[in-house]
Copies of this chain bind each other. A is one copy, B any other.
Amino acid sequence: MKVLVIGGIAGGPSFATRLRRINEDAEIIIFERGAAISVASCALPYYLGGLIKDRSAVIERTPEILKQKNNIDVRLFNEVTRINPNDKNVEVKNLQTGETYTESYDKLIIATGASPTVPEIAGIHDADNAFVLRAVTDADKIKSFIEEKHPKNVTVLGAGSIGIEVSEAFVDNNMDVTIVEQSGHVASPFDPEITDIVADELKKQGVHVILNESVQQIKDHGHTLVLDDGSIHRTDMLFLGTGVKPNSGIAAAAGIKLSDDNHVIVGNHLQTNLPDIYSIGDVIETTSLITGKPIPSLLSSAANRQGHLLADMLNGSPLEYKGFISAGVSKFFDLTASFVGFTEQTLQQLGITNYRTVFITPFDRAYFYPNADRVNFKLIYEDKTGKILGGQAVGRNGIDKRIAELSVAITGNLTAFDLPSLEIPYSPPYSSTRDVLNIAGYVAINQLTNKSATIKVDDISADDLKTAVFLDIREAGKPATGSIKPTLNIPLSELRDRIDEVPKDKKVYITFRKGLGPYNASRVLAGKGINATMIEE
Protein backbone atom coordinates (compact mmCIF):
# COMPACT_ATOMS: atom_id res chain seq x y z
CA MET A 1 0.00 0.00 0.00
CA LYS A 2 1.39 3.36 -1.05
CA VAL A 3 -0.05 6.25 0.92
CA LEU A 4 0.49 9.92 0.12
CA VAL A 5 -0.26 12.66 2.61
CA ILE A 6 -0.62 16.26 1.48
CA GLY A 7 0.23 18.52 4.40
CA GLY A 8 2.55 17.90 7.33
CA ILE A 9 1.47 20.26 10.09
CA ALA A 10 -0.95 18.47 12.46
CA GLY A 11 -3.26 15.72 11.19
CA GLY A 12 -0.84 14.52 8.50
CA PRO A 13 2.01 13.46 10.79
CA SER A 14 -0.48 12.00 13.32
CA PHE A 15 -1.96 9.87 10.57
CA ALA A 16 1.39 8.82 9.17
CA THR A 17 3.03 7.85 12.45
CA ARG A 18 -0.03 5.92 13.57
CA LEU A 19 -0.23 4.08 10.28
CA ARG A 20 3.43 3.12 10.60
CA ARG A 21 2.92 1.78 14.12
CA ILE A 22 0.20 -0.58 12.94
CA ASN A 23 1.51 -1.27 9.43
CA GLU A 24 5.19 -1.82 8.97
CA ASP A 25 4.93 -2.34 5.21
CA ALA A 26 3.01 0.65 3.87
CA GLU A 27 5.01 3.16 1.84
CA ILE A 28 4.24 6.58 3.34
CA ILE A 29 5.17 9.94 1.86
CA ILE A 30 4.27 13.33 3.34
CA PHE A 31 4.41 16.39 1.08
CA GLU A 32 4.74 19.69 2.90
CA ARG A 33 5.08 22.91 0.96
CA GLY A 34 6.40 24.78 3.98
CA ALA A 35 9.71 24.70 5.82
CA ALA A 36 8.72 22.37 8.65
CA ILE A 37 6.34 19.63 9.70
CA SER A 38 4.61 18.99 13.00
CA VAL A 39 4.44 22.64 13.91
CA ALA A 40 2.73 23.49 17.17
CA SER A 41 0.95 26.44 15.57
CA CYS A 42 -0.85 27.27 18.81
CA ALA A 43 2.54 27.82 20.44
CA LEU A 44 3.75 30.45 17.97
CA PRO A 45 2.42 33.45 19.97
CA TYR A 46 4.48 32.28 22.96
CA TYR A 47 7.58 31.94 20.79
CA LEU A 48 6.92 35.44 19.48
CA GLY A 49 6.47 36.82 22.98
CA GLY A 50 9.69 35.22 24.18
CA LEU A 51 8.12 32.83 26.68
CA ILE A 52 9.33 29.94 24.53
CA LYS A 53 12.88 30.81 23.61
CA ASP A 54 13.92 27.85 21.51
CA ARG A 55 12.59 27.93 17.93
CA SER A 56 13.05 24.20 17.56
CA ALA A 57 10.72 23.64 20.52
CA VAL A 58 7.65 24.55 18.47
CA ILE A 59 8.56 21.95 15.85
CA GLU A 60 7.55 18.73 17.47
CA ARG A 61 9.02 16.32 14.94
CA THR A 62 11.56 16.76 12.15
CA PRO A 63 11.65 14.91 8.83
CA GLU A 64 14.86 13.21 10.01
CA ILE A 65 13.16 11.79 13.09
CA LEU A 66 10.14 10.64 11.11
CA LYS A 67 12.47 8.89 8.68
CA GLN A 68 14.58 7.30 11.36
CA LYS A 69 11.95 6.33 13.92
CA ASN A 70 8.98 5.76 11.65
CA ASN A 71 10.38 5.12 8.18
CA ILE A 72 8.25 7.91 6.71
CA ASP A 73 9.46 9.87 3.68
CA VAL A 74 8.87 13.56 4.40
CA ARG A 75 9.42 16.05 1.57
CA LEU A 76 9.62 19.67 2.70
CA PHE A 77 9.17 22.51 0.19
CA ASN A 78 7.28 20.06 -2.00
CA GLU A 79 3.89 21.36 -3.04
CA VAL A 80 1.25 19.12 -4.52
CA THR A 81 -0.13 21.20 -7.41
CA ARG A 82 -2.68 18.80 -8.81
CA ILE A 83 -4.55 15.62 -7.93
CA ASN A 84 -5.39 13.24 -10.80
CA PRO A 85 -8.03 10.96 -9.29
CA ASN A 86 -8.49 8.90 -12.43
CA ASP A 87 -4.79 8.14 -12.78
CA LYS A 88 -4.44 7.92 -9.01
CA ASN A 89 -1.44 10.17 -8.89
CA VAL A 90 -0.49 13.69 -7.85
CA GLU A 91 1.71 16.30 -9.49
CA VAL A 92 4.32 17.77 -7.18
CA LYS A 93 6.52 20.81 -7.46
CA ASN A 94 9.78 21.05 -5.56
CA LEU A 95 9.70 24.70 -4.54
CA GLN A 96 13.45 24.84 -4.02
CA THR A 97 14.59 23.35 -7.34
CA GLY A 98 11.53 24.15 -9.46
CA GLU A 99 11.47 20.51 -10.53
CA THR A 100 8.05 18.86 -11.01
CA TYR A 101 7.18 15.18 -10.85
CA THR A 102 4.25 12.84 -10.37
CA GLU A 103 3.78 10.37 -7.58
CA SER A 104 1.20 7.58 -7.68
CA TYR A 105 -0.95 6.53 -4.73
CA ASP A 106 -3.13 3.75 -3.49
CA LYS A 107 -4.57 6.04 -0.82
CA LEU A 108 -4.39 9.82 -0.72
CA ILE A 109 -4.86 11.91 2.40
CA ILE A 110 -5.62 15.62 2.09
CA ALA A 111 -4.44 17.33 5.26
CA THR A 112 -3.79 20.77 3.83
CA GLY A 113 -5.18 22.70 6.78
CA ALA A 114 -6.21 26.33 6.69
CA SER A 115 -4.44 29.64 6.07
CA PRO A 116 -4.99 33.09 7.50
CA THR A 117 -7.33 35.23 5.45
CA VAL A 118 -6.06 38.54 4.14
CA PRO A 119 -8.99 40.95 4.31
CA GLU A 120 -9.85 42.81 1.10
CA ILE A 121 -8.84 46.28 2.14
CA ALA A 122 -7.68 48.80 -0.44
CA GLY A 123 -3.91 49.14 -0.24
CA ILE A 124 -3.29 46.03 1.86
CA HIS A 125 -1.04 44.43 -0.74
CA ASP A 126 1.24 47.44 -0.75
CA ALA A 127 1.82 47.20 2.99
CA ASP A 128 5.43 46.41 3.94
CA ASN A 129 4.61 45.95 7.62
CA ALA A 130 1.68 43.49 7.58
CA PHE A 131 1.94 40.00 9.01
CA VAL A 132 -0.04 36.87 9.72
CA LEU A 133 0.89 34.01 12.05
CA ARG A 134 0.36 30.39 11.09
CA ALA A 135 3.69 28.91 10.00
CA VAL A 136 6.93 29.05 11.91
CA THR A 137 8.33 31.16 9.06
CA ASP A 138 5.59 33.72 9.76
CA ALA A 139 6.96 33.98 13.28
CA ASP A 140 10.49 34.32 11.88
CA LYS A 141 9.38 37.24 9.72
CA ILE A 142 7.68 39.02 12.60
CA LYS A 143 10.70 38.53 14.86
CA SER A 144 13.03 39.88 12.19
CA PHE A 145 10.80 42.88 11.58
CA ILE A 146 10.71 43.72 15.28
CA GLU A 147 14.47 43.29 15.64
CA GLU A 148 15.30 45.34 12.57
CA LYS A 149 12.65 48.06 12.53
CA HIS A 150 11.98 48.44 16.26
CA PRO A 151 8.27 49.21 15.75
CA LYS A 152 6.91 51.16 18.72
CA ASN A 153 3.34 50.20 18.06
CA VAL A 154 1.22 47.68 16.22
CA THR A 155 -2.36 47.55 15.04
CA VAL A 156 -4.04 44.18 15.28
CA LEU A 157 -7.02 43.62 13.01
CA GLY A 158 -9.43 41.26 14.70
CA ALA A 159 -9.98 40.62 18.41
CA GLY A 160 -10.41 36.86 18.20
CA SER A 161 -8.19 34.40 20.05
CA ILE A 162 -5.18 34.81 17.77
CA GLY A 163 -5.52 38.62 17.83
CA ILE A 164 -5.48 38.70 21.62
CA GLU A 165 -2.72 36.09 21.93
CA VAL A 166 -0.40 38.03 19.61
CA SER A 167 -1.33 41.26 21.40
CA GLU A 168 0.18 39.74 24.53
CA ALA A 169 3.28 38.77 22.55
CA PHE A 170 3.62 42.34 21.26
CA VAL A 171 3.15 43.78 24.76
CA ASP A 172 5.90 41.42 25.88
CA ASN A 173 8.04 43.05 23.17
CA ASN A 174 7.30 46.43 24.79
CA MET A 175 5.06 47.56 21.96
CA ASP A 176 1.94 49.66 22.19
CA VAL A 177 -0.98 47.60 20.90
CA THR A 178 -4.27 48.72 19.35
CA ILE A 179 -6.88 46.15 18.35
CA VAL A 180 -9.49 47.08 15.74
CA GLU A 181 -12.52 44.80 15.83
CA GLN A 182 -15.52 45.12 13.55
CA SER A 183 -18.00 43.48 15.93
CA GLY A 184 -19.09 44.95 19.22
CA HIS A 185 -17.08 42.50 21.36
CA VAL A 186 -13.60 41.16 21.80
CA ALA A 187 -13.00 37.41 22.01
CA SER A 188 -15.95 36.47 19.84
CA PRO A 189 -17.61 33.93 19.63
CA PHE A 190 -17.59 33.89 23.43
CA ASP A 191 -20.78 35.41 24.82
CA PRO A 192 -20.91 38.87 26.44
CA GLU A 193 -20.70 37.54 30.03
CA ILE A 194 -17.23 36.30 29.12
CA THR A 195 -16.11 38.93 26.63
CA ASP A 196 -16.83 41.81 29.01
CA ILE A 197 -14.30 40.33 31.43
CA VAL A 198 -11.74 39.83 28.68
CA ALA A 199 -12.26 43.44 27.58
CA ASP A 200 -11.52 44.62 31.13
CA GLU A 201 -8.32 42.58 31.13
CA LEU A 202 -7.17 44.09 27.83
CA LYS A 203 -7.78 47.56 29.23
CA LYS A 204 -5.87 46.67 32.39
CA GLN A 205 -2.94 45.44 30.29
CA GLY A 206 -2.83 48.72 28.38
CA VAL A 207 -4.16 47.36 25.08
CA HIS A 208 -6.31 49.86 23.17
CA VAL A 209 -9.43 48.33 21.71
CA ILE A 210 -11.54 49.97 19.01
CA LEU A 211 -14.85 48.13 18.59
CA ASN A 212 -17.47 48.35 15.84
CA GLU A 213 -14.89 49.64 13.39
CA SER A 214 -12.93 48.22 10.53
CA VAL A 215 -10.13 49.46 8.34
CA GLN A 216 -11.50 50.94 5.13
CA GLN A 217 -8.25 51.84 3.48
CA ILE A 218 -4.54 51.26 4.02
CA LYS A 219 -2.13 53.95 2.85
CA ASP A 220 1.53 54.75 3.04
CA HIS A 221 2.70 51.12 2.63
CA GLY A 222 0.71 50.06 5.65
CA HIS A 223 1.69 52.88 7.98
CA THR A 224 -1.56 54.82 7.73
CA LEU A 225 -5.00 53.30 8.37
CA VAL A 226 -8.33 54.91 7.53
CA LEU A 227 -11.19 53.51 9.60
CA ASP A 228 -14.86 53.37 8.62
CA ASP A 229 -15.59 56.50 10.64
CA GLY A 230 -12.97 58.36 8.62
CA SER A 231 -10.49 58.57 11.46
CA ILE A 232 -6.84 58.22 10.50
CA HIS A 233 -4.35 56.14 12.48
CA ARG A 234 -0.60 55.89 12.13
CA THR A 235 0.89 52.49 12.81
CA ASP A 236 4.38 51.01 12.65
CA MET A 237 3.12 47.50 12.10
CA LEU A 238 -0.01 45.60 11.12
CA PHE A 239 -1.16 42.18 12.24
CA LEU A 240 -3.97 40.42 10.42
CA GLY A 241 -5.97 38.27 12.80
CA THR A 242 -9.19 38.22 10.85
CA GLY A 243 -9.68 34.46 10.52
CA VAL A 244 -8.63 31.49 8.46
CA LYS A 245 -9.86 29.81 5.29
CA PRO A 246 -9.51 26.14 4.36
CA ASN A 247 -6.78 25.22 1.86
CA SER A 248 -9.24 23.32 -0.28
CA GLY A 249 -8.45 24.70 -3.74
CA ILE A 250 -6.50 21.67 -4.87
CA ALA A 251 -9.28 19.38 -3.66
CA ALA A 252 -11.95 21.41 -5.47
CA ALA A 253 -9.92 21.33 -8.69
CA ALA A 254 -9.87 17.54 -8.53
CA GLY A 255 -13.65 17.39 -8.23
CA ILE A 256 -13.87 16.86 -4.50
CA LYS A 257 -17.11 18.15 -3.02
CA LEU A 258 -16.85 21.19 -0.75
CA SER A 259 -19.30 22.83 1.64
CA ASP A 260 -20.67 26.31 1.03
CA ASP A 261 -17.78 27.75 3.00
CA ASN A 262 -15.24 25.71 1.07
CA HIS A 263 -14.49 22.93 3.53
CA VAL A 264 -13.98 19.40 2.23
CA ILE A 265 -17.02 17.30 3.00
CA VAL A 266 -16.20 13.87 4.43
CA GLY A 267 -18.20 10.80 5.37
CA ASN A 268 -18.00 8.69 8.49
CA HIS A 269 -14.77 7.09 7.34
CA LEU A 270 -13.27 10.50 6.65
CA GLN A 271 -13.56 9.71 2.94
CA THR A 272 -14.26 12.33 0.30
CA ASN A 273 -16.63 11.76 -2.61
CA LEU A 274 -13.73 10.42 -4.71
CA PRO A 275 -12.44 6.86 -4.30
CA ASP A 276 -9.35 6.35 -2.13
CA ILE A 277 -9.11 10.03 -1.24
CA TYR A 278 -9.56 10.98 2.40
CA SER A 279 -9.31 14.23 4.27
CA ILE A 280 -8.63 15.33 7.86
CA GLY A 281 -7.93 18.43 9.92
CA ASP A 282 -8.72 22.10 9.49
CA VAL A 283 -9.58 21.68 5.80
CA ILE A 284 -12.65 19.52 6.47
CA GLU A 285 -16.15 20.10 7.62
CA THR A 286 -17.24 17.63 10.27
CA THR A 287 -20.37 16.91 12.28
CA SER A 288 -21.24 18.43 15.62
CA LEU A 289 -21.86 15.67 18.14
CA ILE A 290 -24.21 18.09 19.89
CA THR A 291 -26.46 19.27 17.05
CA GLY A 292 -25.72 16.64 14.41
CA LYS A 293 -25.18 19.52 11.98
CA PRO A 294 -22.02 20.28 9.99
CA ILE A 295 -19.32 22.42 11.59
CA PRO A 296 -15.76 23.18 10.56
CA SER A 297 -13.07 21.14 12.31
CA LEU A 298 -10.75 23.92 13.40
CA LEU A 299 -8.72 22.42 16.23
CA SER A 300 -5.33 20.75 16.11
CA SER A 301 -6.40 18.25 18.76
CA ALA A 302 -9.27 17.20 16.48
CA ALA A 303 -6.86 16.91 13.54
CA ASN A 304 -4.62 14.64 15.60
CA ARG A 305 -7.49 12.42 16.63
CA GLN A 306 -8.79 12.19 13.06
CA GLY A 307 -5.32 11.24 11.80
CA HIS A 308 -5.02 8.48 14.37
CA LEU A 309 -8.48 7.13 13.61
CA LEU A 310 -8.06 7.29 9.82
CA ALA A 311 -4.89 5.21 10.05
CA ASP A 312 -6.76 2.58 12.06
CA MET A 313 -9.67 2.57 9.58
CA LEU A 314 -7.42 2.33 6.53
CA ASN A 315 -5.64 -0.55 8.20
CA GLY A 316 -8.92 -2.42 8.50
CA SER A 317 -10.28 -1.54 11.94
CA PRO A 318 -14.10 -1.46 11.90
CA LEU A 319 -14.29 2.05 13.34
CA GLU A 320 -16.21 5.19 12.43
CA TYR A 321 -15.64 8.90 12.72
CA LYS A 322 -18.63 10.36 14.48
CA GLY A 323 -17.74 14.04 14.62
CA PHE A 324 -16.68 16.28 17.44
CA ILE A 325 -17.90 18.50 20.23
CA SER A 326 -15.31 21.26 19.82
CA ALA A 327 -13.51 22.48 22.90
CA GLY A 328 -10.88 25.16 23.20
CA VAL A 329 -8.92 27.27 25.63
CA SER A 330 -6.93 30.48 25.30
CA LYS A 331 -4.59 32.39 27.55
CA PHE A 332 -5.58 36.05 27.35
CA PHE A 333 -2.83 37.77 29.34
CA ASP A 334 -3.48 36.82 33.00
CA LEU A 335 -6.87 35.36 32.15
CA THR A 336 -7.86 31.98 30.81
CA ALA A 337 -10.96 31.67 28.64
CA SER A 338 -12.29 28.30 27.59
CA PHE A 339 -15.33 26.90 25.82
CA VAL A 340 -16.90 23.63 24.83
CA GLY A 341 -19.71 23.14 22.33
CA PHE A 342 -21.76 26.15 21.33
CA THR A 343 -22.06 29.69 22.61
CA GLU A 344 -25.35 31.59 22.46
CA GLN A 345 -23.91 33.48 19.54
CA THR A 346 -23.13 30.32 17.54
CA LEU A 347 -26.46 28.71 18.48
CA GLN A 348 -28.32 31.76 17.21
CA GLN A 349 -26.37 31.61 13.95
CA LEU A 350 -27.71 28.08 13.58
CA GLY A 351 -31.24 29.23 14.37
CA ILE A 352 -31.35 27.24 17.60
CA THR A 353 -33.32 29.14 20.25
CA ASN A 354 -34.74 26.37 22.39
CA TYR A 355 -32.19 26.76 25.17
CA ARG A 356 -31.68 28.24 28.62
CA THR A 357 -28.58 29.62 30.23
CA VAL A 358 -27.01 29.63 33.68
CA PHE A 359 -24.35 32.19 34.57
CA ILE A 360 -22.61 31.77 37.91
CA THR A 361 -19.45 33.12 39.47
CA PRO A 362 -18.32 30.75 42.23
CA PHE A 363 -14.72 30.55 43.42
CA ASP A 364 -12.05 28.36 41.86
CA ARG A 365 -11.10 26.94 45.27
CA ALA A 366 -12.54 27.20 48.79
CA TYR A 367 -13.47 30.87 49.13
CA PHE A 368 -11.39 31.18 52.29
CA TYR A 369 -8.22 29.70 50.78
CA PRO A 370 -5.53 32.21 49.75
CA ASN A 371 -5.84 33.64 46.22
CA ALA A 372 -9.36 32.31 45.72
CA ASP A 373 -10.71 33.88 42.55
CA ARG A 374 -13.94 33.75 40.57
CA VAL A 375 -14.74 31.22 37.88
CA ASN A 376 -17.16 33.07 35.60
CA PHE A 377 -19.05 30.15 34.18
CA LYS A 378 -21.88 29.98 31.68
CA LEU A 379 -23.82 26.82 30.92
CA ILE A 380 -26.17 26.52 27.96
CA TYR A 381 -28.61 23.62 27.88
CA GLU A 382 -31.63 22.58 25.88
CA ASP A 383 -34.90 23.56 27.49
CA LYS A 384 -36.87 20.71 29.05
CA THR A 385 -34.42 17.89 28.21
CA GLY A 386 -31.44 19.49 29.96
CA LYS A 387 -29.15 18.35 27.14
CA ILE A 388 -25.89 20.25 27.43
CA LEU A 389 -25.29 22.48 24.40
CA GLY A 390 -22.22 24.32 25.56
CA GLY A 391 -20.23 25.99 28.29
CA GLN A 392 -17.84 28.91 28.61
CA ALA A 393 -15.67 30.15 31.43
CA VAL A 394 -13.19 32.89 32.11
CA GLY A 395 -11.02 33.69 35.10
CA ARG A 396 -7.54 33.32 36.51
CA ASN A 397 -7.40 29.71 37.70
CA GLY A 398 -9.10 26.39 37.15
CA ILE A 399 -10.91 27.57 34.01
CA ASP A 400 -9.64 24.85 31.68
CA LYS A 401 -10.42 22.30 34.38
CA ARG A 402 -14.12 23.13 34.62
CA ILE A 403 -14.58 23.21 30.85
CA ALA A 404 -12.70 19.90 30.50
CA GLU A 405 -15.11 18.42 33.06
CA LEU A 406 -18.06 19.72 31.07
CA SER A 407 -16.59 18.36 27.83
CA VAL A 408 -16.29 14.90 29.36
CA ALA A 409 -19.86 15.23 30.67
CA ILE A 410 -21.05 15.93 27.11
CA THR A 411 -19.12 12.92 25.79
CA GLY A 412 -20.78 10.85 28.51
CA ASN A 413 -24.23 12.12 27.42
CA LEU A 414 -24.86 13.63 30.83
CA THR A 415 -27.50 16.34 31.08
CA ALA A 416 -27.69 19.50 33.16
CA PHE A 417 -29.74 17.41 35.63
CA ASP A 418 -26.73 15.17 36.19
CA LEU A 419 -24.24 17.92 37.00
CA PRO A 420 -25.01 18.11 40.73
CA SER A 421 -23.97 14.47 41.12
CA LEU A 422 -20.52 14.93 39.56
CA GLU A 423 -17.83 14.07 42.08
CA ILE A 424 -15.10 16.67 41.77
CA PRO A 425 -12.19 15.86 44.11
CA TYR A 426 -12.43 18.32 46.98
CA SER A 427 -9.80 19.97 49.10
CA PRO A 428 -9.66 23.72 49.89
CA PRO A 429 -6.69 24.50 47.59
CA TYR A 430 -8.49 23.06 44.55
CA SER A 431 -12.26 23.24 44.70
CA SER A 432 -15.36 23.63 46.83
CA THR A 433 -17.52 20.91 48.34
CA ARG A 434 -20.09 22.01 45.81
CA ASP A 435 -17.97 22.82 42.86
CA VAL A 436 -18.71 24.95 39.80
CA LEU A 437 -20.50 22.33 37.71
CA ASN A 438 -22.49 21.09 40.70
CA ILE A 439 -23.82 24.58 41.32
CA ALA A 440 -24.58 25.15 37.64
CA GLY A 441 -26.56 21.93 37.68
CA TYR A 442 -28.53 22.90 40.78
CA VAL A 443 -29.44 26.24 39.20
CA ALA A 444 -30.44 24.52 35.95
CA ILE A 445 -32.64 22.07 37.82
CA ASN A 446 -34.31 24.95 39.60
CA GLN A 447 -34.96 26.59 36.25
CA LEU A 448 -36.12 23.40 34.59
CA THR A 449 -38.46 22.28 37.29
CA ASN A 450 -39.90 25.78 37.38
CA LYS A 451 -39.53 25.97 41.11
CA SER A 452 -38.66 29.52 40.32
CA ALA A 453 -40.07 31.52 37.45
CA THR A 454 -37.57 33.58 35.53
CA ILE A 455 -37.92 36.16 32.81
CA LYS A 456 -35.42 37.79 30.50
CA VAL A 457 -35.24 41.51 31.12
CA ASP A 458 -36.40 42.37 27.59
CA ASP A 459 -39.51 40.24 27.97
CA ILE A 460 -41.00 42.24 30.85
CA SER A 461 -44.16 43.97 29.61
CA ALA A 462 -44.41 47.75 29.50
CA ASP A 463 -47.39 47.52 31.81
CA ASP A 464 -45.43 45.59 34.40
CA LEU A 465 -42.54 48.00 34.13
CA LYS A 466 -44.95 50.72 35.30
CA THR A 467 -46.98 48.89 37.91
CA ALA A 468 -45.11 45.85 39.27
CA VAL A 469 -42.95 45.60 42.37
CA PHE A 470 -39.24 45.29 41.59
CA LEU A 471 -37.68 43.83 44.70
CA ASP A 472 -33.94 44.22 45.22
CA ILE A 473 -32.65 41.72 47.83
CA ARG A 474 -29.07 42.97 48.13
CA GLU A 475 -27.60 43.33 51.57
CA ALA A 476 -26.65 46.75 52.90
CA GLY A 477 -23.40 47.98 51.43
CA LYS A 478 -23.46 45.68 48.40
CA PRO A 479 -23.44 47.29 44.96
CA ALA A 480 -26.59 47.45 42.85
CA THR A 481 -26.72 45.11 39.87
CA GLY A 482 -29.06 44.73 36.93
CA SER A 483 -30.59 47.25 34.59
CA ILE A 484 -34.00 47.58 36.28
CA LYS A 485 -34.43 50.23 38.95
CA PRO A 486 -35.79 48.57 42.11
CA THR A 487 -38.98 49.89 43.69
CA LEU A 488 -38.39 48.07 46.98
CA ASN A 489 -35.25 46.99 48.81
CA ILE A 490 -35.36 44.29 51.46
CA PRO A 491 -32.06 42.46 52.09
CA LEU A 492 -32.45 38.69 51.81
CA SER A 493 -31.38 38.27 55.43
CA GLU A 494 -34.32 40.43 56.56
CA LEU A 495 -36.91 39.15 54.11
CA ARG A 496 -38.69 36.75 56.47
CA ASP A 497 -39.12 39.41 59.14
CA ARG A 498 -40.16 42.13 56.73
CA ILE A 499 -42.25 40.04 54.37
CA ASP A 500 -45.37 42.09 55.10
CA GLU A 501 -43.73 45.00 53.27
CA VAL A 502 -44.09 43.08 49.99
CA PRO A 503 -47.48 43.95 48.42
CA LYS A 504 -49.65 40.86 47.92
CA ASP A 505 -51.83 42.47 45.24
CA LYS A 506 -49.11 43.33 42.76
CA LYS A 507 -46.91 41.32 40.47
CA VAL A 508 -43.46 40.89 42.08
CA TYR A 509 -40.15 40.71 40.23
CA ILE A 510 -36.81 40.09 41.92
CA THR A 511 -34.13 42.22 40.30
CA PHE A 512 -31.03 40.58 38.89
CA ARG A 513 -28.26 39.43 41.17
CA LYS A 514 -25.62 36.77 40.53
CA GLY A 515 -25.76 33.55 42.48
CA LEU A 516 -28.50 31.86 44.43
CA GLY A 517 -29.78 34.93 46.32
CA PRO A 518 -32.78 35.69 44.07
CA TYR A 519 -33.72 32.02 44.05
CA ASN A 520 -33.59 31.82 47.83
CA ALA A 521 -35.69 34.98 48.04
CA SER A 522 -38.24 33.48 45.65
CA ARG A 523 -38.49 30.43 47.92
CA VAL A 524 -39.06 32.60 50.99
CA LEU A 525 -41.77 34.54 49.12
CA ALA A 526 -43.34 31.33 47.78
CA GLY A 527 -43.61 30.03 51.32
CA LYS A 528 -45.85 33.02 52.07
CA GLY A 529 -47.92 32.65 48.92
CA ILE A 530 -46.13 35.26 46.81
CA ASN A 531 -45.07 33.98 43.40
CA ALA A 532 -42.21 36.23 42.42
CA THR A 533 -40.42 36.16 39.07
CA MET A 534 -36.63 36.41 38.91
CA ILE A 535 -35.16 38.68 36.26
CA GLU A 536 -32.37 37.15 34.13
CA GLU A 537 -29.80 39.49 32.63
Please give me the residue from chain B that is nearest to A17 by CB atom.
B520
Q: Find out whether the CB atom of A528 lies under 8 angstroms from the CB atom of B24.
A: yes
Knowing A368-B58, A431-B329, A434-B304 are in contact, say whether A492-B69 is a contact too (CB < 8 A). yes
Contact partners of A412 in chain B: CB under 8 A: 408-409, 411-414
Closest CB in chain B relative to A85 CB, distance in Å: 30
Chain B residues positioned under 8 Å from A301 (CB to CB):
423-424, 426, 433-435
User: Any chain B CB within 8 A of the CB of A266?
Assistant: no
A43 near B: Cβ within 8 Å?
yes
Docked complex: A378-427 residues within 8 A CB-CB of B: 398, 400-401, 403-405, 407-409, 411-414, 418, 420-427
Return chain B residues, CB-CB under 8 Å to A422. 407-408, 411
Q: Which of A443-460 contact B (CB under 8 A)?
A: 451
- Which residues of B have CB within 8 Å of A420? 305, 308
Closest to A409 in B: B408
- CB <8 Å contact, A411 and B425: no
Question: Distance in Å from the Cβ of A270 to the closest Cβ of chain B?
Answer: 14
CA distance A46 to B330 in the complex (A): 32
Q: Are A21 and B520 also in contact (CB < 8 A) when A412-B412, A414-B412, A428-B40 are?
A: yes
**Segment among A105-113, A319-327, A500-508 that sits at the interface with chain B:** A319-327
Q: Assess the B370–A426 pair: CB atoms within 8 A.
A: no
Q: Is the CB of B425 within 8 A of A10?
A: no
Q: Which of B302, B400, B493 contacts A68 (CB 8 A)?
A: B493
Question: Which chain B residue lies CB-closest to A331?
Answer: B429
Contacts of A431 in B (CB 8 A): 329, 400, 404
- CB of A465 within 8 A of chain B? no
Report how far A69 CA is from B302 CA in the complex, Å.
49
> CB of A299 within 8 A of chain B?
yes
A369 partner residues in chain B, CB cutoff 8 A:
43, 46, 51-52
- The docked-state distance in angstroms from the alpha carbon of A376 to that of B520 is 43
Chain B CB within 10 A, most for which of A46, A52, A423, A428: A423
Which residues of A (310-361) have their CB < 8 Å from a CB of B? 324-331, 336, 338-340
> Which residues of chain A (266-323) have a CB below 8 Å from chain B?
299-302, 304-305, 308
Q: Please tell me if A95 contacts chain B, counting CB pairs below 8 Å.
A: no
User: Which residue among A328, A523, A527 has the maximum number of chain B CB atoms within 10 Å of its CB?
Assistant: A527
Interface residue? A132 (CB, 8 A): no
- Smallest distance from the beta carbon of A315 to chain B beta carbons, Å? 11
A221 CB-CB contact with B under 8 Å: no
Given contacts A301-B434, A414-B411, A433-B304, whether A46 and B404 have CB atoms under 8 Å apart is no
A25 at interface by CB-CB < 8 Å? yes
Complex Cα–Cα for A369 and B21 (A): 27
> A427 near B330 (CB under 8 angstroms)?
yes
What count of chain A residues pass the 8 Å CB interface test? Answer: 87
Q: Which residues of B contact A451 (CB under 8 A)?
A: 22
Chain B residues, CB < 8 A from A304: 433-434
Whether, in the assembled complex, A54 has its beta carbon less than 8 Å from a beta carbon of chain B, the answer is yes
Chain B residues with CB under 8 A of A54: 368
Closest to A21 in B: B523
The answer for the CA separation of A394 and B404 in the assembled complex, in Å, is 19
**Complex: how many Å from CA A21 to CA B302?**
44
Q: A24-B523, A433-B10, A492-B69 are in contact. Are A325 and B368 (CB under 8 A)?
A: no
- In the assembled complex, the Cα of A65 lies from the Cα of B22 at a distance in Å of 64
Q: In the assembled complex, how far is the CB of residue A431 from the closest CB belonging to chain B, in whole angstroms?
A: 7
The residues of B that contact A69 with a CB separation of less than 8 Å are 492-493, 520
A135 within 8 A of B: no
Chain B residue at minimum C-beta to C-beta distance from A370: B51
Q: Judge whether A430 is part of the interface by a CB distance below 8 angstroms.
A: yes
Nearest Cβ in chain B — how far from A411, in angstroms? Answer: 6
Q: A368 with B414: in contact, given A24-B523, A423-B324, A430-B336 (CB under 8 Å)?
A: no
Interface status of A122 (Cβ within 8 A of chain B): no
Q: Is the CB of A427 within 8 A of B40?
A: no
Query: Does chain B have a CB within 8 A of A496?
Result: yes
In the complex, the answer to whether A423 meets B46 with C-beta atoms within 8 Å is no
CB pairs A–B below 8 angstroms (12 shown): A20-B523, A24-B526, A40-B366, A43-B368, A51-B369, A68-B493, A300-B426, A301-B426, A301-B435, A302-B423, A327-B426, A404-B424
A329-B430, A331-B430 known; 8 other A-B pairs, CB under 8 Å? A23-B527, A40-B428, A46-B369, A301-B426, A302-B423, A329-B427, A408-B414, A411-B414
Q: Which residues of A contact B (CB under 8 A)?
A: 10, 20-25, 40, 42-43, 46, 51-52, 54, 57-58, 60, 65, 68-69, 71, 299-302, 304-305, 308, 324-331, 336, 338-340, 366, 368-370, 398, 400-401, 403-405, 407-409, 411-414, 418, 420-431, 433-435, 438, 442, 451, 492-494, 496, 519-520, 523-524, 526-528
Give the 4 A-B CB pairs with smallest separation, nearest first: A412-B412, A24-B527, A329-B425, A57-B368
